[in-house]
Protein backbone atom coordinates (compact mmCIF):
# COMPACT_ATOMS: atom_id res chain seq x y z
CA UNK A 1 0.00 0.00 0.00
CA UNK A 2 2.69 2.48 1.06
CA UNK A 3 4.83 1.54 -1.92
CA UNK A 4 1.89 2.09 -4.23
CA UNK A 5 1.11 5.43 -2.66
CA UNK A 6 4.60 6.75 -3.17
CA UNK A 7 4.59 5.52 -6.76
CA UNK A 8 1.35 7.37 -7.38
CA UNK A 9 2.69 10.48 -5.70
CA UNK A 10 5.77 10.37 -7.89
CA UNK A 11 3.67 9.95 -11.01
CA UNK A 12 1.46 12.78 -9.93
CA UNK A 13 4.40 15.03 -9.16
CA UNK A 14 6.04 14.30 -12.52
CA UNK A 15 2.87 15.06 -14.34
CA UNK A 16 2.55 18.41 -12.64
CA UNK A 17 6.19 19.44 -12.95
CA UNK A 18 5.86 20.76 -16.48
CA UNK A 19 3.49 23.47 -15.39
CA UNK A 20 4.31 26.90 -14.10
CA UNK A 21 3.21 26.12 -10.54
CA UNK A 22 5.61 23.20 -10.54
CA UNK A 23 7.43 24.05 -7.34
CA UNK A 24 4.40 24.96 -5.27
CA UNK A 25 2.44 21.97 -6.42
CA UNK A 26 5.30 19.62 -5.68
CA UNK A 27 5.25 20.73 -2.07
CA UNK A 28 1.53 20.38 -1.67
CA UNK A 29 0.71 17.60 -4.11
CA UNK A 30 0.18 14.99 -1.43
CA UNK A 31 -1.91 17.13 0.80
CA UNK A 32 -3.89 19.55 -1.28
CA UNK A 33 -4.32 18.38 -4.83
CA UNK A 34 -7.52 20.00 -6.02
CA UNK A 35 -10.13 17.50 -7.15
CA UNK A 36 -12.73 18.01 -9.86
CA UNK A 37 -15.54 18.13 -7.34
CA UNK A 38 -13.59 20.55 -5.17
CA UNK A 39 -13.99 23.10 -7.88
CA UNK A 40 -17.74 22.57 -7.89
CA UNK A 41 -17.99 23.81 -4.32
CA UNK A 42 -17.47 20.93 -1.93
CA UNK A 43 -15.40 17.81 -2.50
CA UNK A 44 -17.89 15.53 -0.77
CA UNK A 45 -21.02 16.39 -2.76
CA UNK A 46 -22.62 13.18 -3.98
CA UNK A 47 -25.64 12.04 -5.90
CA UNK A 48 -28.35 10.98 -3.47
CA UNK A 49 -29.44 8.00 -5.58
CA UNK A 50 -27.96 5.19 -3.50
CA UNK A 51 -28.85 6.77 -0.16
CA UNK A 52 -32.48 6.85 -1.26
CA UNK A 53 -32.37 3.25 -2.50
CA UNK A 54 -31.03 2.14 0.90
CA UNK A 55 -33.69 4.19 2.72
CA UNK A 56 -36.39 2.66 0.53
CA UNK A 57 -35.13 -0.84 1.34
CA UNK A 58 -35.15 -0.10 5.09
CA UNK A 59 -38.61 1.47 4.99
CA UNK A 60 -40.17 -1.32 2.95
CA UNK A 61 -38.88 -3.91 5.43
CA UNK A 62 -40.21 -1.91 8.38
CA UNK A 63 -43.58 -1.34 6.71
CA UNK A 64 -44.18 -5.08 6.47
CA UNK A 65 -42.63 -6.14 9.78
CA UNK A 66 -45.87 -6.12 11.78
CA UNK A 67 -47.30 -8.91 9.64
CA UNK A 68 -44.93 -11.28 11.46
CA UNK A 69 -46.80 -11.26 14.80
CA UNK A 70 -50.00 -11.92 12.82
CA UNK A 71 -48.42 -14.80 10.88
CA UNK A 72 -46.98 -16.38 14.00
CA UNK A 73 -50.24 -16.44 15.93
CA UNK A 74 -50.94 -20.12 16.40
CA UNK A 75 -54.49 -21.05 15.56
CA UNK A 76 -55.96 -24.11 17.19
CA UNK A 77 -57.53 -26.50 14.74
CA UNK A 78 -60.46 -27.27 17.00
CA UNK A 79 -61.60 -23.74 17.65
CA UNK A 80 -63.48 -22.15 14.80
CA UNK A 81 -61.43 -19.90 12.54
CA UNK A 82 -64.08 -17.23 12.60
CA UNK A 83 -63.76 -16.68 16.31
CA UNK A 84 -59.98 -16.65 16.45
CA UNK A 85 -59.98 -14.50 13.35
CA UNK A 86 -62.13 -11.92 15.05
CA UNK A 87 -59.54 -11.64 17.81
CA UNK A 88 -56.83 -11.31 15.18
CA UNK A 89 -58.74 -8.72 13.23
CA UNK A 90 -59.39 -6.73 16.36
CA UNK A 91 -55.73 -6.17 17.24
CA UNK A 92 -52.89 -7.58 15.19
CA UNK A 93 -54.19 -7.01 11.67
CA UNK A 94 -55.26 -3.50 12.65
CA UNK A 95 -51.78 -2.87 14.05
CA UNK A 96 -50.25 -4.20 10.84
CA UNK A 97 -52.37 -1.98 8.59
CA UNK A 98 -51.86 1.09 10.77
CA UNK A 99 -48.10 0.55 10.88
CA UNK A 100 -48.08 0.18 7.13
CA UNK A 101 -49.90 3.49 6.76
CA UNK A 102 -47.68 5.26 9.31
CA UNK A 103 -44.49 4.10 7.63
CA UNK A 104 -45.77 5.05 4.18
CA UNK A 105 -46.65 8.51 5.52
CA UNK A 106 -43.07 8.84 6.80
CA UNK A 107 -41.80 7.50 3.48
CA UNK A 108 -43.86 10.04 1.49
CA UNK A 109 -42.45 12.84 3.66
CA UNK A 110 -38.95 11.46 3.00
CA UNK A 111 -39.60 11.49 -0.76
CA UNK A 112 -40.74 15.10 -0.71
CA UNK A 113 -37.75 16.14 1.41
CA UNK A 114 -35.28 14.59 -1.03
CA UNK A 115 -37.08 16.06 -4.02
CA UNK A 116 -35.93 19.40 -2.63
CA UNK A 117 -32.46 18.23 -1.65
CA UNK A 118 -31.05 16.42 -4.66
CA UNK A 119 -27.42 16.08 -3.70
CA UNK A 120 -26.00 14.95 -0.41
CA UNK A 121 -22.77 15.10 1.50
CA UNK A 122 -21.46 13.03 4.39
CA UNK A 123 -23.26 14.99 7.10
CA UNK A 124 -26.61 14.64 5.36
CA UNK A 125 -26.04 10.91 4.86
CA UNK A 126 -25.40 10.49 8.59
CA UNK A 127 -28.40 12.63 9.54
CA UNK A 128 -30.55 10.54 7.22
CA UNK A 129 -29.33 7.33 8.89
CA UNK A 130 -30.31 8.74 12.29
CA UNK A 131 -33.73 9.58 10.87
CA UNK A 132 -34.07 6.02 9.50
CA UNK A 133 -33.18 4.54 12.87
CA UNK A 134 -36.05 6.41 14.52
CA UNK A 135 -38.51 5.51 11.77
CA UNK A 136 -37.66 1.81 12.15
CA UNK A 137 -38.54 2.17 15.83
CA UNK A 138 -42.04 3.56 15.11
CA UNK A 139 -43.76 0.17 14.57
CA UNK A 140 -42.69 -0.98 18.02
CA UNK A 141 -43.96 2.14 19.78
CA UNK A 142 -47.20 1.82 17.87
CA UNK A 143 -47.73 -1.81 18.86
CA UNK A 144 -47.01 -0.78 22.47
CA UNK A 145 -49.72 1.85 22.10
CA UNK A 146 -52.16 -0.73 20.72
CA UNK A 147 -51.43 -3.29 23.45
CA UNK A 148 -51.70 -0.77 26.31
CA UNK A 149 -54.23 1.78 25.11
CA UNK A 150 -54.87 3.13 28.60
CA UNK A 151 -51.15 3.67 29.31
CA UNK A 152 -49.67 6.97 28.19
CA UNK A 153 -46.16 5.57 27.75
CA UNK A 154 -46.85 4.24 24.23
CA UNK A 155 -48.19 7.54 23.01
CA UNK A 156 -45.32 9.40 24.66
CA UNK A 157 -42.71 7.23 22.96
CA UNK A 158 -44.45 7.43 19.60
CA UNK A 159 -44.83 11.22 19.71
CA UNK A 160 -41.26 11.72 20.92
CA UNK A 161 -40.00 9.66 17.95
CA UNK A 162 -42.12 11.68 15.51
CA UNK A 163 -40.95 14.99 17.01
CA UNK A 164 -37.28 13.98 16.84
CA UNK A 165 -37.74 12.78 13.22
CA UNK A 166 -39.33 16.15 12.41
CA UNK A 167 -36.44 17.95 14.09
CA UNK A 168 -33.86 15.98 12.08
CA UNK A 169 -35.75 16.73 8.87
CA UNK A 170 -35.80 20.41 9.76
CA UNK A 171 -32.04 20.29 10.38
CA UNK A 172 -31.60 18.63 6.97
CA UNK A 173 -33.63 21.41 5.30
CA UNK A 174 -31.72 24.18 7.06
CA UNK A 175 -28.39 22.49 6.24
CA UNK A 176 -29.50 22.11 2.61
CA UNK A 177 -30.43 25.79 2.27
CA UNK A 178 -27.13 26.81 3.86
CA UNK A 179 -25.32 24.77 1.18
CA UNK A 180 -27.37 25.74 -1.89
CA UNK A 181 -25.42 23.46 -4.27
CA UNK A 182 -27.21 20.53 -2.56
CA UNK A 183 -30.68 21.79 -3.53
CA UNK A 184 -32.54 20.88 -6.68
CA UNK A 185 -31.74 23.03 -9.68
CA UNK A 186 -35.10 24.75 -9.71
CA UNK A 187 -34.76 26.11 -6.18
CA UNK A 188 -31.03 26.69 -6.61
CA UNK A 189 -31.59 29.32 -9.32
CA UNK A 190 -34.74 30.71 -7.71
CA UNK A 191 -34.55 34.21 -6.20
CA UNK A 192 -36.80 33.67 -3.20
CA UNK A 193 -34.97 30.77 -1.57
CA UNK A 194 -35.82 32.14 1.86
CA UNK A 195 -39.53 31.86 1.05
CA UNK A 196 -39.12 28.23 -0.02
CA UNK A 197 -37.16 27.47 3.11
CA UNK A 198 -39.84 28.83 5.45
CA UNK A 199 -42.64 27.24 3.47
CA UNK A 200 -41.00 23.81 3.63
CA UNK A 201 -40.12 24.18 7.32
CA UNK A 202 -43.74 25.17 8.00
CA UNK A 203 -45.06 22.04 6.26
CA UNK A 204 -42.55 19.80 8.04
CA UNK A 205 -43.29 21.25 11.48
CA UNK A 206 -47.07 20.62 11.23
CA UNK A 207 -46.89 16.95 12.27
CA UNK A 208 -44.42 17.40 15.18
CA UNK A 209 -46.53 20.28 16.55
CA UNK A 210 -49.66 18.10 16.45
CA UNK A 211 -47.67 15.40 18.28
CA UNK A 212 -46.58 17.94 20.87
CA UNK A 213 -50.24 18.68 21.55
CA UNK A 214 -50.93 14.93 21.68
CA UNK A 215 -48.30 14.59 24.41
CA UNK A 216 -49.85 17.44 26.40
CA UNK A 217 -53.34 15.98 26.02
CA UNK A 218 -52.13 12.50 26.99
CA UNK A 219 -51.62 13.86 30.54
CA UNK A 220 -54.98 15.64 30.63
CA UNK A 221 -57.44 13.69 28.50
CA UNK A 222 -55.89 10.79 26.63
CA UNK A 223 -58.68 10.05 24.05
CA UNK A 224 -58.02 13.50 22.60
CA UNK A 225 -54.41 12.58 21.88
CA UNK A 226 -55.55 9.52 19.88
CA UNK A 227 -57.82 11.78 17.86
CA UNK A 228 -54.85 14.05 17.17
CA UNK A 229 -52.75 11.09 16.04
CA UNK A 230 -55.52 9.88 13.76
CA UNK A 231 -55.59 13.36 12.23
CA UNK A 232 -51.81 13.18 11.69
CA UNK A 233 -52.05 9.90 9.82
CA UNK A 234 -55.26 10.32 7.87
CA UNK A 235 -55.43 14.05 7.23
CA UNK A 236 -53.26 14.07 4.11
CA UNK A 237 -55.20 11.14 2.66
CA UNK A 238 -58.63 12.56 3.50
CA UNK A 239 -57.86 16.07 2.30
CA UNK A 240 -56.41 14.56 -0.87
CA UNK A 241 -59.45 12.42 -1.63
CA UNK A 242 -61.87 15.26 -0.90
CA UNK A 243 -59.94 17.65 -3.11
CA UNK A 244 -59.66 15.08 -5.89
CA UNK A 245 -63.40 14.32 -5.77
CA UNK A 246 -64.15 18.05 -5.67
CA UNK A 247 -61.99 18.80 -8.68
CA UNK A 248 -63.57 15.91 -10.60
CA UNK A 249 -67.10 16.92 -9.57
CA UNK A 250 -66.75 20.58 -10.48
CA UNK A 251 -64.93 19.51 -13.60
CA UNK A 252 -62.28 22.20 -13.36
CA UNK A 253 -58.67 21.36 -12.74
CA UNK A 254 -57.24 23.40 -9.91
CA UNK A 255 -54.49 25.62 -11.14
CA UNK A 256 -51.37 24.48 -9.34
CA UNK A 257 -48.65 27.03 -9.10
CA UNK A 258 -45.92 25.06 -10.83
CA UNK A 259 -43.08 26.45 -8.73
CA UNK A 260 -44.86 25.36 -5.54
CA UNK A 261 -45.50 21.81 -6.67
CA UNK A 262 -43.57 20.40 -3.71
CA UNK A 263 -45.10 20.32 -0.26
CA UNK A 264 -48.64 21.07 -1.32
CA UNK A 265 -50.41 17.76 -0.59
CA UNK A 266 -52.18 18.18 -3.91
CA UNK A 267 -53.42 14.82 -5.34
CA UNK A 268 -51.72 15.50 -8.67
CA UNK A 269 -48.40 16.32 -7.03
CA UNK A 270 -45.86 14.00 -8.59
CA UNK A 271 -44.03 11.44 -6.46
CA UNK A 272 -40.67 10.16 -7.64
CA UNK A 273 -41.51 7.18 -9.86
CA UNK A 274 -38.13 5.62 -9.16
CA UNK A 275 -38.72 5.65 -5.43
CA UNK A 276 -42.25 4.26 -5.67
CA UNK A 277 -40.78 1.39 -7.69
CA UNK A 278 -37.93 0.84 -5.24
CA UNK A 279 -40.27 0.82 -2.24
CA UNK A 280 -42.70 -1.56 -3.97
CA UNK A 281 -39.84 -3.87 -4.98
CA UNK A 282 -38.70 -3.98 -1.37
CA UNK A 283 -42.16 -4.86 -0.09
CA UNK A 284 -42.71 -7.52 -2.75
CA UNK A 285 -39.27 -9.04 -2.07
CA UNK A 286 -39.76 -9.20 1.70
CA UNK A 287 -43.28 -10.59 1.41
CA UNK A 288 -42.22 -13.21 -1.15
CA UNK A 289 -39.52 -14.51 1.20
CA UNK A 290 -41.44 -14.26 4.49
CA UNK A 291 -42.48 -17.91 4.41
CA UNK A 292 -39.05 -19.24 3.45
CA UNK A 293 -37.63 -17.37 6.46
CA UNK A 294 -39.98 -19.37 8.66
CA UNK A 295 -39.29 -22.60 6.82
CA UNK A 296 -35.51 -22.24 7.04
CA UNK A 297 -35.74 -21.49 10.72
CA UNK A 298 -38.41 -23.84 11.95
CA UNK A 299 -38.89 -26.69 9.52
CA UNK A 300 -35.57 -28.51 9.56
CA UNK A 301 -36.53 -31.67 11.46
CA UNK A 302 -34.64 -32.65 14.57
CA UNK A 303 -32.36 -35.67 13.96
CA UNK A 304 -33.46 -37.26 17.25
CA UNK A 305 -37.14 -36.88 16.37
CA UNK A 306 -36.61 -38.35 12.91
CA UNK A 307 -34.98 -41.38 14.52
CA UNK A 308 -37.64 -41.87 17.17
CA UNK A 309 -40.90 -40.97 15.46
CA UNK A 310 -40.28 -41.68 11.79
CA UNK A 311 -37.90 -44.62 12.17
CA UNK A 312 -35.02 -42.71 10.56
CA UNK A 313 -36.92 -41.91 7.37
CA UNK A 314 -36.25 -38.28 6.48
CA UNK A 315 -38.75 -38.40 3.62
CA UNK A 316 -41.52 -39.32 6.03
CA UNK A 317 -40.51 -36.52 8.39
CA UNK A 318 -40.48 -33.97 5.56
CA UNK A 319 -43.93 -35.08 4.42
CA UNK A 320 -45.16 -33.54 7.65
CA UNK A 321 -43.97 -30.17 6.37
CA UNK A 322 -45.47 -30.69 2.90
CA UNK A 323 -48.27 -28.15 3.38
CA UNK A 324 -45.73 -25.50 4.46
CA UNK A 325 -43.70 -26.00 1.26
CA UNK A 326 -46.85 -25.85 -0.84
CA UNK A 327 -47.85 -22.63 0.94
CA UNK A 328 -44.38 -21.20 0.28
CA UNK A 329 -44.40 -21.95 -3.44
CA UNK A 330 -47.97 -20.74 -3.76
CA UNK A 331 -47.34 -17.45 -2.01
CA UNK A 332 -43.99 -16.89 -3.78
CA UNK A 333 -45.63 -17.44 -7.17
CA UNK A 334 -48.59 -15.19 -6.38
CA UNK A 335 -46.44 -12.38 -4.97
CA UNK A 336 -44.00 -12.78 -7.87
CA UNK A 337 -46.78 -12.54 -10.45
CA UNK A 338 -48.35 -9.55 -8.70
CA UNK A 339 -44.88 -7.94 -8.84
CA UNK A 340 -44.76 -8.83 -12.53
CA UNK A 341 -48.09 -7.07 -13.15
CA UNK A 342 -46.88 -4.07 -11.12
CA UNK A 343 -43.67 -4.03 -13.15
CA UNK A 344 -45.58 -4.13 -16.46
CA UNK A 345 -47.90 -1.38 -15.26
CA UNK A 346 -45.10 0.95 -14.20
CA UNK A 347 -43.29 0.44 -17.51
CA UNK A 348 -46.16 2.37 -19.07
CA UNK A 349 -46.55 4.96 -16.32
CA UNK A 350 -44.52 8.12 -16.81
CA UNK A 351 -45.62 10.11 -13.76
CA UNK A 352 -46.84 8.89 -10.37
CA UNK A 353 -49.33 11.21 -8.70
CA UNK A 354 -50.03 11.11 -4.96
CA UNK A 355 -53.36 9.44 -5.65
CA UNK A 356 -51.66 6.62 -7.57
CA UNK A 357 -49.14 6.36 -4.73
CA UNK A 358 -51.98 5.95 -2.25
CA UNK A 359 -53.64 3.21 -4.33
CA UNK A 360 -50.25 1.53 -4.61
CA UNK A 361 -49.91 1.62 -0.81
CA UNK A 362 -53.29 -0.08 -0.41
CA UNK A 363 -52.33 -2.74 -2.94
CA UNK A 364 -49.05 -3.38 -1.11
CA UNK A 365 -50.80 -3.58 2.26
CA UNK A 366 -52.96 -6.41 0.90
CA UNK A 367 -49.95 -8.11 -0.67
CA UNK A 368 -48.38 -8.14 2.80
CA UNK A 369 -51.22 -10.31 4.06
CA UNK A 370 -50.79 -12.94 1.34
CA UNK A 371 -48.23 -15.26 3.00
CA UNK A 372 -50.41 -15.37 6.09
CA UNK A 373 -53.47 -16.28 4.03
CA UNK A 374 -51.58 -19.00 2.14
CA UNK A 375 -50.24 -20.41 5.36
CA UNK A 376 -53.75 -20.61 6.77
CA UNK A 377 -55.06 -22.55 3.76
CA UNK A 378 -52.85 -25.51 4.63
CA UNK A 379 -53.11 -25.49 8.39
CA UNK A 380 -56.50 -27.05 8.75
CA UNK A 381 -58.01 -30.48 8.14
CA UNK A 382 -59.23 -31.22 4.65
CA UNK A 383 -62.79 -30.15 3.90
CA UNK A 384 -63.21 -28.49 7.27
CA UNK A 385 -65.12 -25.26 7.54
CA UNK A 386 -61.86 -23.55 8.58
CA UNK A 387 -60.07 -24.61 5.40
CA UNK A 388 -62.87 -23.25 3.24
CA UNK A 389 -62.80 -19.91 5.06
CA UNK A 390 -59.00 -19.68 4.84
CA UNK A 391 -59.17 -20.26 1.09
CA UNK A 392 -61.88 -17.66 0.70
CA UNK A 393 -59.85 -15.14 2.71
CA UNK A 394 -56.90 -15.79 0.40
CA UNK A 395 -59.14 -15.12 -2.59
CA UNK A 396 -60.38 -11.87 -1.05
CA UNK A 397 -56.83 -10.68 -0.35
CA UNK A 398 -55.65 -11.54 -3.88
CA UNK A 399 -58.75 -9.86 -5.29
CA UNK A 400 -58.13 -6.58 -3.48
CA UNK A 401 -54.37 -6.58 -4.15
CA UNK A 402 -55.14 -6.96 -7.86
CA UNK A 403 -58.05 -4.56 -7.79
CA UNK A 404 -55.97 -1.71 -6.37
CA UNK A 405 -53.38 -2.31 -9.07
CA UNK A 406 -56.18 -1.98 -11.61
CA UNK A 407 -57.26 1.20 -9.80
CA UNK A 408 -53.76 2.68 -10.32
CA UNK A 409 -54.21 2.09 -14.03
CA UNK A 410 -57.67 3.66 -14.02
CA UNK A 411 -56.34 6.63 -12.05
CA UNK A 412 -53.55 7.02 -14.61
CA UNK A 413 -56.09 6.95 -17.45
CA UNK A 414 -58.52 9.31 -15.73
CA UNK A 415 -55.87 11.68 -14.54
CA UNK A 416 -53.65 13.87 -16.62
CA UNK A 417 -52.72 12.56 -20.04
CA UNK A 418 -49.06 12.90 -19.15
CA UNK A 419 -49.27 10.03 -16.63
CA UNK A 420 -49.08 7.30 -19.30
CA UNK A 421 -47.04 6.57 -22.39
CA UNK A 422 -49.05 7.58 -25.46
CA UNK A 423 -48.97 4.11 -27.00
CA UNK A 424 -50.91 2.57 -24.11
CA UNK A 425 -53.04 5.65 -23.51
CA UNK A 426 -54.59 5.28 -26.95
CA UNK A 427 -56.60 2.15 -27.26
CA UNK A 428 -54.01 0.04 -29.01
CA UNK A 429 -53.12 -3.60 -28.64
CA UNK A 430 -50.80 -2.81 -25.72
CA UNK A 431 -53.68 -1.10 -24.00
CA UNK A 432 -55.85 -4.22 -24.20
CA UNK A 433 -52.96 -6.45 -23.22
CA UNK A 434 -52.21 -4.34 -20.14
CA UNK A 435 -55.85 -4.43 -19.15
CA UNK A 436 -55.88 -8.22 -19.51
CA UNK A 437 -52.80 -8.52 -17.29
CA UNK A 438 -54.30 -6.30 -14.62
CA UNK A 439 -57.70 -7.95 -14.74
CA UNK A 440 -56.40 -11.54 -14.62
CA UNK A 441 -55.85 -11.81 -10.86
CA UNK A 442 -59.04 -10.06 -9.72
CA UNK A 443 -61.09 -12.15 -12.17
CA UNK A 444 -59.46 -15.44 -11.21
CA UNK A 445 -59.76 -14.65 -7.48
CA UNK A 446 -63.42 -13.73 -7.87
CA UNK A 447 -64.05 -16.86 -9.93
CA UNK A 448 -62.34 -19.08 -7.37
CA UNK A 449 -64.26 -17.44 -4.55
CA UNK A 450 -67.61 -18.06 -6.23
CA UNK A 451 -66.64 -21.62 -7.20
CA UNK A 452 -65.60 -22.47 -3.62
CA UNK A 453 -68.93 -21.11 -2.39
CA UNK A 454 -70.82 -23.36 -4.79
CA UNK A 455 -68.60 -26.47 -4.67
CA UNK A 456 -67.45 -26.13 -1.06
CA UNK A 457 -66.32 -29.76 -0.78
CA UNK A 458 -63.80 -29.29 -3.64
CA UNK A 459 -62.43 -25.97 -2.36
CA UNK A 460 -58.83 -27.17 -1.89
CA UNK A 461 -58.47 -28.79 -5.37
CA UNK A 462 -60.02 -25.69 -6.99
CA UNK A 463 -57.56 -23.44 -5.14
CA UNK A 464 -54.54 -25.56 -6.11
CA UNK A 465 -55.72 -25.67 -9.71
CA UNK A 466 -55.91 -21.88 -9.64
CA UNK A 467 -52.33 -21.69 -8.30
CA UNK A 468 -51.06 -23.81 -11.19
CA UNK A 469 -53.21 -22.23 -13.91
CA UNK A 470 -52.37 -18.57 -13.24
CA UNK A 471 -48.62 -18.69 -14.13
CA UNK A 472 -49.49 -20.60 -17.33
CA UNK A 473 -52.16 -18.02 -18.12
CA UNK A 474 -49.55 -15.25 -17.76
CA UNK A 475 -47.15 -17.09 -20.09
CA UNK A 476 -49.87 -17.52 -22.71
CA UNK A 477 -51.60 -14.19 -22.08
CA UNK A 478 -50.20 -12.44 -25.14
CA UNK A 479 -51.40 -15.33 -27.29
CA UNK A 480 -54.80 -15.42 -25.63
CA UNK A 481 -55.30 -11.67 -25.98
CA UNK A 482 -54.33 -11.79 -29.65
CA UNK A 483 -56.75 -14.68 -30.19
CA UNK A 484 -59.53 -12.85 -28.38
CA UNK A 485 -58.93 -9.68 -30.37
CA UNK A 486 -58.98 -11.57 -33.68
CA UNK A 487 -62.24 -13.22 -32.71
CA UNK A 488 -63.65 -9.86 -31.66
CA UNK A 489 -62.60 -8.29 -34.94
CA UNK A 490 -64.16 -11.10 -36.95
CA UNK A 491 -67.39 -10.74 -35.04
CA UNK A 492 -67.51 -6.97 -35.06
CA UNK A 493 -66.23 -6.18 -38.55
CA UNK A 494 -69.63 -6.68 -40.31
CA UNK A 495 -71.29 -4.40 -37.76
CA UNK A 496 -68.52 -1.81 -38.07
CA UNK A 497 -68.59 -1.94 -41.82
CA UNK A 498 -72.32 -1.32 -41.77
CA UNK A 499 -71.89 1.52 -39.32
CA UNK A 500 -69.17 3.10 -41.44
CA UNK A 501 -71.26 2.86 -44.58
CA UNK A 502 -74.06 4.58 -42.72
CA UNK A 503 -71.73 7.33 -41.48
CA UNK A 504 -70.26 7.84 -44.96
CA UNK A 505 -73.72 8.28 -46.38
CA UNK A 506 -74.44 10.94 -43.78
CA UNK A 507 -71.27 12.99 -44.12
CA UNK A 508 -69.69 12.18 -47.44
CA UNK A 509 -67.11 14.98 -47.66
CA UNK A 510 -65.96 16.28 -44.34
CA UNK A 511 -63.36 18.99 -44.99
CA UNK A 512 -59.84 18.21 -43.82
CA UNK A 513 -59.39 21.42 -41.85
CA UNK A 514 -62.39 20.62 -39.68
CA UNK A 515 -61.00 17.19 -38.88
CA UNK A 516 -57.68 18.57 -37.85
CA UNK A 517 -59.13 20.90 -35.26
Residues 151-180 that bind a copy of itself (CB under 8 A): 151, 153-154
Between residues 172 and 388, which has the closer beta carbon with respect to a copy of itself? Answer: 172
Query: Could you give the C-alpha distances from 161 to 138, 139, 496, in angstroms and in order?
Result: 7, 11, 64
Asked if 454 interacts with a copy of itself (CB under 8 A), we say no
Judged by CB under 8 A, the chain residues 10 through 29 that form the site for a copy of itself are 11-12, 14, 17-18, 23, 26-29
16: closest CA among 7, 27, 5, 1? 27
Which of 97, 168, 216, 410 is in the footprint of a copy of itself by CB under 8 A? 410
CA 222 to chain centre: 32
Nearer to a copy of itself by C-beta: 92 or 197? 92
Q: Give the nearer residue to a copy of itself in terms of CB position, either 385 or 497.
A: 497
Q: Which is nearer to a copy of itself, 119 or 197 (CB)?
A: 119
CB of 239 to a copy of itself, least distance (A): 26
Q: Does 223 bind a copy of itself (CB under 8 A)?
A: no
Contacts of 318 (CB under 8 A, 6+ apart): 301
Size of the site for a copy of itself (CB under 8 A): 118
Among the residue ranges 136-144, 167-175, 184-192, 363-371, the one whose residues contact a copy of itself (CB under 8 A): 136-144
Footprint (CB under 8 A) of a copy of itself, residues 468-497:
471, 474-475, 477-478, 485, 488-489, 493, 496-497
φ, ψ for residue 118 (rounded to 5)?
A: -95, -20
Among 177, 262, 284, 441, binds a copy of itself (CB under 8 A): 284
Q: Which is nearer to a copy of itself, 138 or 397 (CB)?
A: 138
226 touches a copy of itself by CB under 8 A: no
From 83, 86, 87, 147, residue interacting with a copy of itself (rule: CB under 8 A): 147
Q: What is the torsion angle, in degrees rounded to the nearest 10, for the CA atoms of residue 213, residue 216, residue 221 and residue 223?
A: 40
Q: H-type helices in 378-458, by residue range?
A: 385-414, 422-425, 429-454
Within residues 411-430, the interface with a copy of itself by CB under 8 A covers 413-414, 423-430
When asked if residue 439 is in the footprint of a copy of itself (CB under 8 A), the reply is no
Q: What is the distance, to the nearest Å, from the Cα of residue 187 to the centroid of all Cα atoms in its chain? A: 28
Q: What is the DSSP string of 234-301?
A: HHHHHHHHHHHHHHHHH-------GGG-TTS--TTPEEPHHHHHHHHHHHHHHHHHHHHHHHHHH-S-
36 to 75: interface string for a copy of itself, x by CB under 8 A: xx-----xx-x---xx-xx--xx--xx--xx-xx--x---
Interaction between residue 436 and a copy of itself (CB under 8 A): no
H or E element at residue 475? helix 459-506
Per CB under 8 A, 336 contacts a copy of itself: yes
Alpha carbon distance 232, 229 (integer Å):
5
Residues 6+ apart with CB under 8 A from 314: 301, 306
Q: Which of 160, 264, 289, 456 binds a copy of itself (CB under 8 A)?
A: 289
Instruction: Pick out residues in 260-279 that bind a copy of itself (CB under 8 A).
Output: 277-278
Burial of residue 272 (CB within 10 Å: 0-12, 13-18, 19+) is: middle
Least Cα distance to 396 among 375, 378, 369 occurs for: 369
Amino acid sequence: MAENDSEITKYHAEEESGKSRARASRTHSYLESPTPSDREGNSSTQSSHRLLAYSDALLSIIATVMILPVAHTKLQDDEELKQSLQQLLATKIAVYLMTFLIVTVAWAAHIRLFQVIERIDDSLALLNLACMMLITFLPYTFSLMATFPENTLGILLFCTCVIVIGAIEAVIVVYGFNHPFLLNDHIQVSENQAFYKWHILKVISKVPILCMFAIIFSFIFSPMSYVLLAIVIFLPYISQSVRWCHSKATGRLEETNDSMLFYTYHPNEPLSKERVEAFSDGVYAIVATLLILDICEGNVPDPKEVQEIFGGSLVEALKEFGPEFLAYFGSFATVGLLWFVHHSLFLHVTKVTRLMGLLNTFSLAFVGGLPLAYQLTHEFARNSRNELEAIQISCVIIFFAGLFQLAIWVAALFGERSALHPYVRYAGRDHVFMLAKLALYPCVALGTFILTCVLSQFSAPIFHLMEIMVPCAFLLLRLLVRLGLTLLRLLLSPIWRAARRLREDEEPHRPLSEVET
